[in-house]
Chains A and B, each alone.
Chain A
């Protein structure tokens, strides 16, 4: 039918769909790079990365680009990813924005711990109990889940012998940790 009407389907459709989906678009390309960075850093941070670090890594990647990438650009690109059903999401924890690239469901308890961790990059069980007025059981439950999800790492090396739970997603270990972007 298209041939009858004299329409070259390939040529016109490409443009039509491309525009609809934003393919070839600045934000589409940015989205692809964001996905790659999130995948590359996932073994280190469990699939949660803070926006600042993501933008820094993006800028490092796009060094030759004349168009600077702002946080706003990232947010836009991620919202497009979300539209495509990719499971990407931006969540706010305390003062920070984190980009989630895995389907991990974080509940209020987890979010509160992540917020607490923003001060020093880690928390201890004591600190969680004290600052949030939780029982030991509740603190350990939440921390264990975060550990299992790959969002936390344990540190038993401090001379005070107290276990620390570190959260890579609230730190900026840029250009590090086996990222081959």
Chain B
């Protein structure tokens, strides 16, 4: 078979799956079973990519590298992007940040998972019954090497609010205008 185009193997240090180089996967498939398979593959790819690259928000109209393969000259239409992201939203792995569905928050860890990670972090660093700040949690020295490092503020706040709701901590206004204090009571 004469179809030997170069393959796009990597996006930076991320290894791309083989389906990414098969042109029809960039067109929304009309047949139900084929569409289901297509959606499943793209959902997994989006989550994997965002997880390894620590991407929290995807802007549909922006040039998100995962949505194009320049080697085979194919790009996902806006409709396709919305279909795949909506599928992630339906299973609780993403949320639309605006009514127009132009920005999508990717929860490669669910909020509950982040909450668990924060609790473990607090225990590992002896933060029970002590006070810290949001910024400390996500950029402080202790956060280095953990998944919390460089985490998105919005997601962190959501996880903290969940924990607050469960009585595991209290959030209060910090000393600086754009930071919040967190008191653990684990």
Contact = CB atoms under 8 A, between A and B. Distances in A.
A119 interface: yes
B15 to A, nearest CB: 12
Interface in A82-129: 118-122
Given A150-B31, A157-B73, A177 B23 contact: no
A170 interface: yes
Nearest to A179: B18
A178 B42 CA distance: 11
Nearest to A121: B3
Contact of A43 (B25, B37, B75): B37
B18 A173 contact: yes
A8 to B, nearest CB: 49
B126 interface: no
A119 B34 CA distance: 23
B39 to A, nearest CB: 11
Interface string A61-76: 0000000000000000
A50 B34 CA distance: 19
Nearest to A157: B74
A177 B2 contact: no
B26 interface: yes
B40 A178 contact: yes
A157 B75 contact: yes
Contacts of B73: 157-159
Interface string A155-181: 111110000101010111111111000
Contacts of B18: 173-177
Contact of A176 (B2, B19, B31): B19
A172 B26 contact: no
Given A157-B73, A177-B19, A118 B24 contact: no
Nearest to B73: A159
B2 A166 contact: no
DSSP class of A's interface residues: helix, strand, loop or mixed? loop
Contacts, number: 77
A159 B34 CA distance: 23
Interface size class of B (residues with CB under 8 A): 20 to 34
Nearest to B69: A157
A166 B37 CA distance: 16
B145 to A, nearest CB: 32
B27 A156 contact: yes
A148 B40 CA distance: 19
Nearest to B37: A43
A147 B19 contact: no
A157 B26 contact: yes
A158 B34 CA distance: 20
B33 A153 contact: no
Contacts of B74: 155, 157
B94 to A, nearest CB: 20
Question: Sorted from nearest, which 9 A-B pairs have the closest CB atoms?
Answer: A176-B18, A153-B24, A121-B3, A43-B37, A157-B74, A155-B24, A155-B23, A166-B24, A156-B27
Given A173-B19, A177-B17, A177-B22, 4 more contacts: A118-B1, A153-B27, A155-B27, A176-B18
11 contacts: A150-B31, A150-B34, A157-B27, A157-B73, A157-B74, A159-B73, A168-B22, A171-B22, A173-B18, A175-B18, A178-B19
